[in-house]
Structure 1
Amino acid sequence: MNDSQQRGSERAQARRAELIAVGRKLFADTSYDALSMDDIARHAGVAKGLIYYYFSSKRGYYLAIIEDAVAELVQRAGSTHDLPPVERVHHTVDGYLRYAQHHQAAYRAIVTGGVGFDADVLAIRDRVREQLLTAMARAAWGRTDLPPVARTALVGWLSAVEGVTLDWLARRELPRELVCGVLVRALGDALRMVEEYEPACPAPERTRW
């Protein structure tokens, strides 16, 4: 690839990222069905054909926005490699809640499966759950190969996290720090249970967990 092609590719990537950023804001305030491609193009300040060029369809645009949201959520949850185990757990849970708090529409779409029963969004949701399980396993044990009992415990805990987070966003009764503490405490209980069944996965040491 020559310099001109490289610059063209970078401009295309930047324009695509700009359109996704606009879409994230739009879908945060307006339902999927209420937004037409004309509406999206008007808000983005571009010709409708440009959106079709990058995303093929409104659905393709929506899925690209969800994929972008997933990438950010996983990045936030997994950026803990240089911290001790307990701090990694706190950082991971707090990063998850921060993302949900500041990107509520995207979070709800990820967790609940998007618009109706959308198989593609559900596949994205399943993938992000696997990535979050990996991030949590790394945070708790510094490993990603999970024995069945450890995986079962983390899946159960993550399902509870999703339910608690959705309820917290709907009610807004508690500060994020308190919700984080509750979820971390619940994770500590789960990790201690895992240790009883699987000594190869000991719970991180902490006086009060």
Structure 2
Amino acid sequence: MNISQERDVARPRARGTERSAARRAELISIGRKLFADISYDALSMDDIARQAHVAKGLIYYYFQSKRGYYLAIIQDSVADLVTYASSGIELQQVDRVHRTIDSYLRYAEHNQAAYRTIVSGGVGFDTEVHAIRDGVREAIVATIAEGAYGRTDITPPARVGLLAWVCSVEGATLDWIDRQDLSRETLCDLLVKMLGGAMRAIEEMDPAFPAPAPARRDG
């Protein structure tokens, strides 16, 4: 087989792979909407297939099981959350931290069911779902460390201090999307101030990681 023939064979395969990826992404998008309104236990595979207007076998083909489908949906939601939170890398350190927190809150506000699933750990005590959640926490810690210190290779006191703050953010954000008694801007400012306190505590424990100077506001 010559080079031209190999290319002719490769093109249909590439198109097939693209269609397959697009179909999988479409099923995940449908699943995110379904699980936003209905609990995991209340949805059978027959229900999912009927509401998605697809054959049940297609879902098994891409995800093997309902749990596999659910995990894929959570992982997709996690990717969105981390992308939102890590935006604004071109900003100055303090502004980048503020953007990270604001983006995190925007995601939670507009994707409440997905956020609750990520933070609460999904269905019961599921080790894979909890591992996904822990991965989100580590990603947010790394994003904050990069924004605040300009590096992600931080010492244990700094990592644990930032992780404790992230866990408090999760609790505050869950309360906020349930109550809606604060504006996003107010909550963001509060969480930034709380982070400042955490970082000053980290600096006392490890002077190699100084807290950034507060941002100056005009006016």
Give the TM interval when normalised to the shorter protein: over 0.9
Give the corresponding residue for 1:146.
Answer: 154
- Is 1:188 the counterpart of 2:191 in the alignment? no
Correspondent of 1:74 among 71, 82, 94: 82
Distance 1:75 1:14 in 2: 20
Correspondent of 1:2 among 7, 10, 19: 10
Stretch of structure 1 that moved more, 188-197 or 113-122: 188-197
1:80 positional shift: 2.5
Correspondent of 2:181 among 173, 187, 196: 173
**Aligned positions of 1:1-209 closer than 5 A:** 2-206=10-214
Give the corresponding residue for 2:5.
Answer: none
CA contact (8 A) 1:16 1:54 kept: yes
Distance 1:95 1:47 in 2: 37
- Secondary structure, aligned partner of 1:97: helix
- Secondary structure, aligned partner of 1:2: helix
- Secondary structure, aligned partner of 1:162: helix
- Secondary structure, aligned partner of 1:184: helix
- Structure with max Cα Rg: 2
- Secondary structure, aligned partner of 1:199: coil
- Secondary structure, aligned partner of 1:99: helix
Stretch of structure 1 that moved more, 8-17 or 147-156: 147-156
Distance 2:162 2:148 in 1: 10
Q: 1:72-106: per-residue Cα shift (whole Å, max 9, x none)?
A: 11111112321100111111001111111111111
The two structures, once aligned, show a CA RMSD in angstroms of 1.4
Q: 1:137-157: per-residue Cα shift (whole Å, max 9, x none)?
A: 111111001112211210111
TM (norm. structure 1) is: 0.96
1:172 positional shift: 1.3
1:207 positional shift: 5.0
CA contact (8 A) 1:80 1:139 kept: no
TM (norm. structure 2) is: 0.91
Q: Which runs of 4+ in 1 moved over 4 A?
A: none
Distance 2:121 2:36 in 1: 15
Corresponding residue pairs, total: 209
